[in-house]
Amino acid sequence: MRKTALITGASAGFGVEFARLFARHGNDVILTARRSDRLAELAASLEAEHDVNAHVIVADLAAHNGARALFDEVQERGLEVEYLVNNAGFGTFGPFVETDPEESMDLVRVNIAALTELTALLLPAMVERRSGRVLNVASAAAFQPGPLMATYYASKAYALHFSEALNAELEGTGVSVTALCPGPVMTEFQQVAGMETSGLVLHKRLISIEEVVAAGYEAMMRGKAYVIPGIGPRLLSFGVRFMPRRFVAKFVGRLQAKRAP
């Protein structure tokens, strides 16, 4: 029986590549994001190339009822979700005190609240049938505080710890939850966050989307609690554990401060 993957944030970046990868493995996909034109184009190409069903559901996870509305639509269409990829998310760049409060709350709603609610709504059915996988797209940012991106780093720490805890709780059920923790990747994220000239990405050789998604997919299927693609991010994530906490925040702040192009 063909299985179905629900992928949030499927209109760009990781979401598009996850959709392609699941379709290549013969899975149907549910594509959701705010941009209907991109979703429709992706769905058509996946159905033509891989002979799968690609369902499009336009949803705004920053809305207060966004995750519930998405879940209700999935239920109404009679779709059974075997794989949930909580990929939707965004960041803001700059001092927190200068950030628009509503934008900060939108980030919390998408990166934390929607991820939590969709997992809570879809996990019980997976456990009942003793089959299912959840992948939460976190970040290597989850391992330390991030001045100039305070809310983003904090939201990814939540995604990581939430995933690790659930993975331990679900041991023996046939269901697992995995956190994908990549370092910087050249996607639309940098442009949306306004951090193209951050020292974290400027003039850096960044890992490819394909490498990150392949690593996340493999870890998800193996039921791992988390995965950090790339040697550099793994070393940094490990190294900060041995640094004084007060130093780590200053170190990260200097690392990602804006540079001259």
For the annotated catalytic residues, the residue numbers are 152
Alpha helices in 62-183 (DSSP H): 66-76, 101-108, 115-129, 150-169
Contacts of 160 (CB under 8 A, 6+ apart): 136, 138, 142, 143, 179, 181, 226
Contact 182, 238 (CB under 8 A): no
Residue where the block lists tokens 């995604």 = 159
d(CA 83, CA 68): 17
Token pair for 19: 């959709």
Contact 219, 178 (CB under 8 A): yes
Enter the DSSP assignment of 243.
S
Rg of the Cα atoms in the chain: 18
Geometric angle at alpha carbon 42, from 214 and 122, rounded to 5°:
65
